[in-house]
Amino acid sequence: MKIHQYLQLIILTPMLTTSLLLPRLAFAESVVFSGIEGSSSSTHAYLGFIMPSEGERLGDGWYRKFVGSSTTYVYQNSERGPVVDIDGRSNGIDAGMGRGWRFDNSSVDLSATVGYREVKLSPYAPSSDKAGNRLTFNPQLMLWHQLGHGIDTDLIANYATGTSSSFVRARIGMHPSAGYRVGIEAKWLDGRNYRVKKHGLFVALKFSEKLTLEINAGREEPYDRDTSTYAGIAIATTF
């Protein structure tokens, strides 16, 4: 049995949203962000807060991070005879801290969170899977660099201890105007029982100094499943 790759997004996805904030909202006071992403086999929704420590600026100092999330996913299992669909759901919270450094044409961000998850599986929990409550620890690195006039790139690398799972996302974007960014993205998810490659497009729209919207879509290629389409939307606002 191959556990579906979206099981690991329960751990990874809440960490990724801060890329929407850097560097465009780098010097905001505090940020609220929310979003949803999914494919034919899963959905993931989240709501979070990022708050600089006293006397610090987001993107160039210490900050605190809190995220709540809910994930649904499905995979097939034949442990009890015929192949059946196993439906999974996970609700969780994450809390942690991070530190950002901002330079003339680049930025670096290091953070880590501790998370609590409640995982439910139906109609039964396979012996090779894990249901119930669990704790996670997730270190993350984010990089951004200005390549030239109107062109930049960013990278996210995340690792989840305990599950030995990792996530990497690379993007190259262009700024046709000050109001939006458009570009291409590639993602790699890897774990004990799955490997997934994704490639697609993204658009980030800056409606004001306090509001940013991002839309992304593309194709995902699991090593043991058919290629499918994914799409997502995220929003961030400052206060």
pLDDT per position in the chain (239 positions), as tens?
333 333 333 334 444 444 444 444 445 578 999 999 888 777 889 999 999 988 888 788 999 999 998 888 777 777 788 888 777 788 888 899 999 999 999 999 999 999 888 888 888 877 766 677 888 898 999 999 999 888 999 999 988 776 667 889 999 999 988 888 999 999 998 865 567 789 999 999 999 888 999 999 999 887 767 888 999 999 999 88
With vertex at residue 136, the alpha carbon angle to CA 134 and CA 142, rounded to the nearest 5 degrees, is: 155
Cα 22 from Cα 124, distance rounded (Å): 42
189: its two tokens? 């998810």
pLDDT of residue 221: 86
pLDDT of residue 26: 46
**Which CATH number fits the domain that encloses residue 229?**
2.40.160.40
What total of structural domains would you count in the chain?
A: 1
Question: In this structure, are residues 202 and 214 in contact, taking their beta carbons and an 8 Å threshold?
Answer: yes
Q: Smallest Cα–Cα separation from 66: which of 28, 36, 92?
A: 92
- Give the ranges where the chain is alpha helix by DSSP (H): 9-12
Question: In this structure, are residues 152 and 145 in contact, taking their beta carbons and an 8 Å threshold?
Answer: yes
pLDDT of residue 1: 33
The whole domain housing 111 covers 5-238
